Homo-oligomer: A and B are copies of this chain.
């Protein structure tokens, strides 16, 4: 008989959530790179977003039902919510491309989506290392997320600066500004995830 029968479940759920996140960020990058077949690509990201909702909901449900948890309750809750936030923002960015009937690329959007994809890949690895209790690896990966987020911030600011220089149609500015902001907010939430993971590691070190 195991003392912590539920222990493995939360890590499995986080593993699933972060894999799903990678799929979404890869689909978004492809959408922005190819800029064809937009409606179908957006719809497939929507499916991943709904899948993520189910995983988040299941995580919160189990958390509310479980007395003993492998991590602090608030950390499990915060991690599940922030992973879901990232996915929501990826979906929001994709959705707006469709909703705003965006017809052409803007400088910097692909680069930002590429960076976001890298963020999600590192988050996934960090969660796997956390499960294996390899805390110093988790810490290294969190530092890597912080580095990526600084880089993404630079990419975002450059893209915004160039847009205001080159784009003269205010309606296009309104549209792309929102999309770029969703992407940048997604990388901010990735940094939140890194902070939560770092906090967990510090408590166990």
Contact = CB atoms under 8 A, between A and B. Distances in A.
Interface in A92-119: 95, 99-101
B175 A174 contact: no
A199 interface: yes
A95 B202 contact: no
Nearest to A178: B177
A64 B135 CA distance: 15
A171 to B, nearest CB: 5
Contact of A170 (B101, B165, B170, B195): B170
Contacts of A95: 157
Interface range on chain A (Cβ under 8 Å from partner): 20 to 34
B164 A101 contact: yes
Q: Is the interface of A mostly helix, strand, loop or mixed?
A: helix
Identical chains bound together, number? 3
A202 B61 contact: yes
A60 interface: yes
Interface in A6-45: none
B173 A173 contact: no
A60 B195 CA distance: 10
8 contacts: A60-B195, A64-B202, A95-B157, A99-B161, A99-B164, A100-B164, A170-B171, A171-B173
Interface of A: 60-61, 64-65, 95, 99-101, 157, 160-161, 164-165, 170-171, 173-175, 177, 195, 199, 202-203
Q: Which 5 A-B pairs have the closest CB atoms?
A: A170-B170, A64-B202, A99-B161, A170-B171, A64-B199
